[in-house]
Amino acid sequence: MRTHYDALIIGAGIVGAACASELAQAGLHVAVVEQEIVGGGTTAAGMGHIVVMDGSLPELVLTSYSQQLWAELLAERPADHEHLACGTLWVAADAEELAEAQAKQARYSAHGIASRLVAAAELYALEPLLRPGLAGGLLVPSDSVIYPPRSAALLIERARNHGAQVISAAVCALRPSGVLLADGQTLTAEAVILAGGIRSQALAPELPLRAKQGHLAITERYPHIIRQQLVELGYIKSAHASSGDSVAFNVQPRPTGQLLIGSSRQFDRSERSVDQAMLAQMLRRAVEYMPALAQLTVIRAWTGLRPATPDGLPLIGPAWQRPGVWLATGHEGLGITTALGTAKLLAAQLLGHSAPIPAAPYLPARFDKETAHG
Ligand SMILES: Cc1cc2nc3c(=O)[nH]c(=O)nc-3n(C[C@H](O)[C@H](O)[C@H](O)COP(=O)(O)OP(=O)(O)OC[C@H]3O[C@@H](n4cnc5c(N)ncnc54)[C@H](O)[C@@H]3O)c2cc1C
């Protein structure tokens, strides 16, 4: 085994896997160090919705750019990623939310993202099981669904095909120009990329990350109950809240015919156990929007920890005050979508190429207190 690499990536979640694939394809000698299994962290707990989100302009730019990259990748082997081109139907409960749907449509249109306002009659033609009395919605056909741990494994496979090495080990400390493994071995690299999700903080305690726990539940197989991923427009408020617990109606059709039901957000819960009260609240919300769900059988529920930054944007670029260390973490609830854009941005910075989208909003240095305070 080599002990010196051009790029050493800590973590084989979807973000580390995407970085490994990108950097190995660029011709770098890459190693990925993973302490558990590929795609087994928050990536395994996520919903796999490849979704354009417009909570802020940088979020819109990164999600839509990443979605284009997913479309290119998925075109090669869609079935292997368990891809479903289902689109998103944002559901407006009342006139106020319909106005929000209109504003969202205008923002999408300004950025070249196709979407269509849907009146109440068409809403029920598209999804007959939604509860009566809803106002309409916004259909975004380019959104889709994948199976995240599978996609992480495929990205790692691609990295391996380009010479990357996957090392099964825990990194216990960052060292100048390398890392210290739990077995005492040191690996060195020109660039160390920290892509450890919520666990990145154990190696770099200065990172401004908080865990936002989320629950999901999956049903038995009920093919064709819904056709689009259905999300209430109130989800956006829930997703961007910086405190408090919240739930939102968010239901995804799986290629297996199962339904994946989300979603919840709770701050600073570091354990993965299911909070029965929160799960019940989340399922009640789903049934409020789609009463027929009450008849279905849920076979499993689980949680995952979203790595959240204070401004809701990921950390992509050089770590402050840690020469040779680069960050690719803090993707909160959008890391499946934004992994591919993250990898492109990181590679451009590492290789000194021009960035495909403006890199500034995601640079970790925005949280460097010393720079910020002069
Ligand atoms: C309920 C829920 C639903 C979600 N739904 C979506 C969705 O629909 N769409 C979307 O885009 N995003 C979604 N997300 C967010 C998404 O899952 C995360 O943003 C993404 O998985 C983060 O990936 P990651 O690679 O950064 O972290 P992880 O997947 O956690 O991977 C980090 C890896 O690093 C390894 N690691 C950490 N420290 C070390 C160390 N010291 N040594 C060795 N290895 C180490 C870990 O073992 C792990 O495998 C959801 C999240 C949750 C919780």
Ligand 1 first shell, C-beta below 6 A: 10-16, 33-36, 40-43, 45-49, 170-171, 195-197, 199, 203, 214, 216, 262-263, 304, 306, 329, 331-337
The helices-and-strands tally (H runs, E runs) of the chain is 11, 18
Q: Ligand 1 centroid to 125 CA: how many Å?
A: 36
From 155, 238, 336, 342, mutation site for ligand 1 pocket: most ligand atoms within 8 A of C-beta: 336
Q: Are 256 and 217 in contact (CB under 8 A)?
A: no
pLDDT tens-place string over residues 186-243: 999 999 999 999 999 999 999 999 999 999 999 999 999 999 999 999 877 666 767 7
Domains of the chain: 4-45+148-208+311-372 (3.50.50.60), 85-142+209-308 (3.30.9.10)
> Token digits for 213?
């726990």
From 9, 15, 42, mutation site for ligand 1 pocket: most ligand atoms within 8 A of C-beta: 42
What is the model's pLDDT at position 371? 63
Nearest C-alpha to atom 12 of ligand 1 is from which residue?
Answer: 334
What secondary structure does DSSP assign to 9-55, as a single string? Answer: EE--SHHHHHHHHHHHHTT--EEEEESS-TT-SHHHHS--EE----S
Q: Ligand 1 centroid to 156 CA: how many Å?
A: 15
From 43, 209, 213, 300, mutation site for ligand 1 pocket: most ligand atoms within 8 A of C-beta: 43
Helix, strand, coil percent content, the chain, rounded in steps of 5 = 35, 30, 35
pLDDT tens-place string over residues 248-277: 999 999 999 999 999 999 987 877 899 999
**Which of 170, 202, 173, 175 is closest to 189 using CA atoms?**
175
Pick the atom of ligand 1 nearest to 328's CA. 26
Pick the atom of ligand 1 nearest to 200's CA. 38
Per-residue pLDDT of the chain (374 residues; tens, 9 = 90+): 788 999 999 999 999 999 999 999 999 999 999 999 999 999 999 999 999 999 999 999 999 999 999 999 999 999 999 999 999 999 999 999 999 999 999 999 999 999 999 999 999 999 999 999 999 999 999 999 999 999 999 999 999 999 999 999 999 999 989 999 999 999 999 999 999 999 999 999 999 999 999 999 999 999 999 999 999 998 776 667 677 899 999 999 999 999 999 999 998 787 789 999 999 999 999 999 999 999 999 999 999 999 999 999 999 999 998 999 999 999 999 999 999 999 999 999 999 999 999 999 999 999 997 765 44
